[in-house]
């Protein structure tokens, strides 16, 4: 199709017209770019829908107003797309990477991942980032001619390296197979700017929205939050304008301004990095060891303060730790219960190569609710 969507992109962006292609050759879409096609395949996937019932911080059944892994993912994609547009980077690819980045998460969030990794310690371990690749390359079944979603190599590259170059190629080869990338991905260089934007947008989203959920859950309050000078300054700019001391609106405005300030700093600092490092092409991006898309030193310090605050007030809260521990126990019990009678849950084709990996695939795809109910029934 016409690539008018991409005519104003910077020379160091990725262009769908120059895509490295897909593992399985397909005819081009008439009404969409290749990266738009990737985005829409992700949205229509089973794994994407399941994110609605997977833990972000709070288990899904704890309340309708808390964020789930799905709402978090949508918020990441929105922030990432805004940053990509301002930097003249490919919005569609950035959004595709952002929408897919958490598909590999287990039920009960990182607690579930830790438990599954412990169960798989003698069988190659478990990592949600690599599980995302397994899902979109092998485990989704929607097409007659191939397994997986058959996404472009640029999207796969972004998902592999949104947190930086790959250091352990043996694990990637064991869980996915390096041949699947058709020798067109350099695993040791930096990720694209689209991938870098997705990664830091993830940080911006959960740092801010976990604060909002933490206040809603009464794990801390506004007075606790404004002990951080960054939030105190935002609070001062709004407190006299909020009628009847409406704290819900005040908190929303604080989070809104916080995201805005972080995104503005990110864009400004990234533009400075592009100029300082004389980035003129995609190869220039790949050559650099350090990420180009990053905060200024001032906002890196703020981010560190926010993470410390959330860790001490929320992630290490007794209620959260108890729920996490309960989730870990469920995942561990499920693994060993299913391992005793795998044929009851998985077919022969799934079990023929690596039964333990097949069990991990099965459990990681469960929603919180499904895992809880299955654990009770077996």
Q: What does the DSSP 8-state code read for residue 24?
A: S
Query: 147 in a domain, yes or no?
Result: yes
Domain range spanning residue 27?
1-9+22-378
In a domain? residue 17: no
Tell me whether residue 16 is in a domain: no
Confirm if 202 and 76 have CB atoms less than 8 A apart: yes
pLDDT of residue 2: 46
Q: pLDDT in tens for each of the 378 residues of the chain?
A: 546 779 999 999 999 999 999 999 999 888 999 999 999 999 999 999 999 999 877 655 555 678 899 999 999 999 999 999 999 999 999 999 999 999 999 999 999 999 999 999 999 999 999 999 999 999 999 999 999 999 999 999 999 998 889 988 999 999 998 888 888 899 999 999 999 999 999 999 999 999 999 999 999 999 999 999 999 999 999 878 776 568 888 999 999 999 999 999 999 999 999 999 999 999 999 999 999 999 999 999 999 999 999 999 999 999 999 999 999 999 999 999 999 999 999 999 999 999 999 999 999 999 999 999 999 999
Count CB-CB contacts under 10 A for residue 4. 8
Question: What's the rounded Cα separation, in Å, for the pair 208 and 259?
Answer: 7
Measured in Å, how far apart are the chain's first and last C-alpha atoms? Answer: 52
Domain count for the chain? 1
Hey, is 358 helix, strand or coil? helix
Give the distance, in angstroms, between the CA of residue 77 and the centroid of all CA atoms in the same chain: 9
Query: Any idea what the CATH number is for the domain that residue 87 is in?
Result: 1.10.3210.10
Residue 164, in any domain of the structure: yes
Residue 15 lies in a domain: no
Residue 36 lies in a domain: yes
Predicted pLDDT at 66: 83
Q: Is residue 14 part of a domain?
A: no
DSSP three-state, residue 231 = helix
pLDDT at position 3, please? 60
pTM of the full structure: 0.95
């Amino acid at each position: 199709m016409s690539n008018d969507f991409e005519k104003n992109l910077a020379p160091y962006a990725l262009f769908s017209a120059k895509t490295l292609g897909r593992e399985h050759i397909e005819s081009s879409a008439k009404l969409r770019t290749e990266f738009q096609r990737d985005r829409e395949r992700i949205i229509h996937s089973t794994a994407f829908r399941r994110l609605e019932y997977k833990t972000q911080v709070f288990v899904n059944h704890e309340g309708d107003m808390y964020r789930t892994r799905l709402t978090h993912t949508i918020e990441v994609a929105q922030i990432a797309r805004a940053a990509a547009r301002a930097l003249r980077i490919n919005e569609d690819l950035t959004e595709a990477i952002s929408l897919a980045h958490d598909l590999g998460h287990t039920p009960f969030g990182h607690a579930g991942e830790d438990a599954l990794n412990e169960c798989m310690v003698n069988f190659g371990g478990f990592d949600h980032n690599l599980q995302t690749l397994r899902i979109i390359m092998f485990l989704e079944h929607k097409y007659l001619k191939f397994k997986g979603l058959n996404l472009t190599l640029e999207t796969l590259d972004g998902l592999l390296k949104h947190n930086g170059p790959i250091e352990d190629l043996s694990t990637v080869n064991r869980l996915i197979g390096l041949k699947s990338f058709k020798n067109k991905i350099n695993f040791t260089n930096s990720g694209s700017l689209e991938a870098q934007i997705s990664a830091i947008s993830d940080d911006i989203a959960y740092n801010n929205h976990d604060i909002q959920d933490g206040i809603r859950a009464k794990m801390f309050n506004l007075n606790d939050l404004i002990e951080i000078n960054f939030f105190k300054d935002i609070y001062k700019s709004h407190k006299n304008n909020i009628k009847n001391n409406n704290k819900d609106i005040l908190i929303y405005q604080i989070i809104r301004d916080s995201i805005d300030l972080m995104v503005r700093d990110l864009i400004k600092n990234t533009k400075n990095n592009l100029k300082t490092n004389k980035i003129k092409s995609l190869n220039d991006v790949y050559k650099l060891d350090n990420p180009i898309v990053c905060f200024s030193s001032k906002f890196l310090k703020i981010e560190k303060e926010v993470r410390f605050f959330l860790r001490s007030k929320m992630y290490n809260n007794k209620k959260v730790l108890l729920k996490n521990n309960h989730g870990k126990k469920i995942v561990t019990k499920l693994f060993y219960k299913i391992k005793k009678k795998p044929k009851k849950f998985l077919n022969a084709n799934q079990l023929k190569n690596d039964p333990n990996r097949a069990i991990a695939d099965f459990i990681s795809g469960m929603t919180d609710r499904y895992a809880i109910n299955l654990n009770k029934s077996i």
